[in-house]
Amino acid sequence: MRAPDKNRFLKAVKHIQCNEIPLFEHEADPAIVSAMLGKPVDMSLHSFELPVPDVIEWNLKMGNDMVYFGNIWRLARKEMVDAAGRRHYVDGMMKTPASLKDIWYPDLGALRGRLEEFLRCIEGTGLGIVVCGTSPDKIVSSAMGYQDFCYAIYENPDFIDDFLARVQEYAMKELEMLLSYPVDGILLTYSLVTSTGSMLNPVMMEKYADVFMKKQAERIKGAGKLLTIHTDGLVEPLMPLFIDMGVDVIHPLDPCGGAQDIYEVKKRWGSRTALQGNIDIGGVLAKGNPEQVAEDVRRHIEGLSADGGYIVASSHDLHQLIPPANIYAMRDAVHGWRK
């Protein structure tokens, strides 16, 4: 297995053709992490929330060139716990203006301490780091519940405006803290998107999502950092917005049941931003065999890496139904590829 090298990622983002391709998988189900580390882990946490040494060890076994640093702000979330101990989002509980009195904010001191531990642990490994910033539309919509958020836009827009403003104030403070460290990039989440497109019309998306992200993007780019946008759904209609914001990487390019063709996205937009992901978690990774996974990865590399601009990763994250053998096949296909 090759050693990590963040320069593979940085060169790909800058569209520099290299002999090797970067691998950057953000997250795996804790059962997969447990299998790869050969020990039990806390099933109630996301993989990036685990103790820092375990996070770094998993990234090294994954063969990543970068690590993902994230923090889940579980504001007013109603969650259920499954038989294995995983937490699953059910709904939000802040439904009215009166509930704003219950808002709480993550401890920036604790977040700072964990980031410093991450940076210490990756020193000398060759790994780079992308850190996740807070996206106001994601926090507010999940804290309210997505359906109630959409209703309130029409029925009580002042409530939405007030809630978003409070979260944005925290998000900018958090962003300044993150930018004070030697991180390689910042990731923002564009959450109000499904496999068929945006949840709101363009005017509403501009008011309740875009305006906040544009302010964050301006600060990130002004600080000279790379900007990754994570959006789970159909991204191509949003590409002009992301290009205008100076987005460097789009992640994770979900196939959307065939509605989104990464090769067409590459043809139209690939000279202006890098693409990360698209190895299908609902298809070949979950249902194929290792040979099929390796072939699909090689097909992606051959079709997308000309002049740089492609980073191998799954089409979302590695869920519990993906066999570890297929994960290793993805990793080894990337590590074994040479131009």
What's the CA gap between 143 and 148, in Å, rounded?
10
Nearest CA among 47, 88, 118 for reference residue 327: 47
Note down the domain range covering 29. Answer: 6-336
* Interval 293-311: pLDDT, tens: 999 999 999 999 988 999 9
CA distance 118 to 129: 9
What band does 130 get if pLDDT is binned at 50, 70 and 90? very high
How would you classify the pairing of strands 249-251 and 274-276?
parallel
CATH number at residue 29: 3.20.20.210
> What pLDDT does residue 76 have?
98
Q: State residue 274's pLDDT score.
A: 98
The pLDDT confidence band at residue 58, using thresholds 50, 70 and 90, is: very high
Examine the pLDDT at 9 and tell me if it is beyond 80: yes
Cis bond before residue 252 (omega within 30° of 0) = yes
The pLDDT-based confidence of 93 (bands split at 50, 70, 90) is very high
Structural domains of the chain, count:
1
Residue 309 forms part of a structural domain: yes
Place of tokens 């992640």: 251
| Mean pLDDT of the chain, nearest integer | 97
Mean pLDDT over residues 187-195, rounded? Answer: 95
Relative to beta strand 77-81, strand 185-189 is unpaired
Q: How far is CA 69 from CA 29, 57, 111, 143, in A?
A: 16, 14, 10, 22
**Structure-token pair, residue 157:** 């827009």
pLDDT in tens, 216-269: 999 999 999 999 999 999 999 999 999 999 999 999 999 999 999 999 999 999
Residue 118 resides in a domain: yes
Q: In angstroms, how far is the first alpha carbon of the chain from the final one?
A: 17
Q: Contacts by 81-84 with C-beta closer than 8 Å and gap 24+?
A: 81/44, 84/31, 84/43
Q: Record the tokens describing residue 326, joined without a space.
A: 């297929």
Residue % of the chain over a pLDDT of 70? 100
What's the average model confidence in pLDDT over 278-299?
98
32 domain residue, yes or no: yes
pLDDT at residue 154 tops 80? yes
The identity of residue 327, as a single letter, is: I
Residue 302 is predicted with a pLDDT of 96
Q: Using the predicted structure, report yes or no on whether residue 64 has a pLDDT greater than 90.
A: yes
Q: Quick check: is 1 in a domain?
A: no
Q: Specify the length of the chain in residues.
A: 339
What band does 180 get if pLDDT is binned at 50, 70 and 90? very high
Distance CA 74, CA 143 (A): 8
Largest Cα separation within the chain, whole Å, is 60
In a domain, 50, yes or no: yes
Residue 7 has pLDDT above 80, yes or no: yes
DSSP 318: B
Amino acid present at 57: E
pLDDT value of residue 339: 77
**HEC sequence for 124-157:** CCCCEEEEECCCHHHHHHHHHCHHHHHHHHHHCH
What's the mean pLDDT in 183-203? 95
Gyration radius from the chain CA atoms: 19
Residue 295 forms beta bridges with which residues? none
Query: How far apart are the C-alpha atoms of 82 and 67, rounded to whole Å?
Result: 27
